[in-house]
Structures are given as structure tokens and as C-alpha cells.
Amino acid sequence: MIAMVRSGLAQAYSNVGNGLLAMAQTGANAWDRRKVTEARSWYEKSAQVWELKHKLAEIENDESGELDLVLAAQSHCDEILNEKSAPRR
């Protein structure tokens, strides 16, 4: 039962990150840095729950790739933030 609650929580955190990241794109290559940062923090929360589930051996077969997806989304946020903060020439 608790394992299912953790799965739902991790998915909810990831979904909030997805929504914020979608709202963060303001143009073809333009991003709202604050929203990207917030999305990244939700992905981080999701990753922490998935890592706990891995540690507790609670991962179901259909959840085996969820941590990788969340970490990829978090990495995408990092790329956006690093690009945006890089000095323009």
C-alpha cells in the first residue's frame, strides 16, 4: 500500500515539473528561468522518491524506467539554465 502511495507521489511531483516546464517556454528559444528552476526542483523531489523506492526494492516492472525519465528531465532543466546563464557574445 505505501509503495503505491510513493509511486503516486513521485508521479505527481514529476507531473508538476512537466507542467511548469511547459509553461516556462515563452518562445522558440526563450525560457522563463524562474519556472524552469521551479520545474527542476519538482523533478528533484520526484527523483528522491524513486531513489527511495529503489533502495526499498519497491519498484514494479512498469516503473523501472521512471527514475531515468525524471533524471533526464532534470538534466534538460540544467541545460536550459546553463544556456540561459551563459554570457552572450
More confident position, 38 or 84? 38
- Cell, residue 87: 554570457
**DSSP designation for 60:** -
In this prediction, residues 66-75 reach a mean pLDDT of 98
CB neighbours (10 Å) of residue 48? 13
Assess whether pLDDT exceeds 90 at residue 50.
yes
pLDDT tens digit sequence for 1-28:
898 999 999 999 999 999 999 999 998 8
| Residues 43, 13 contacting (CB under 8 angstroms) | yes
Assess whether pLDDT exceeds 90 at residue 52.
yes
Q: What's residue 88's pLDDT?
A: 45
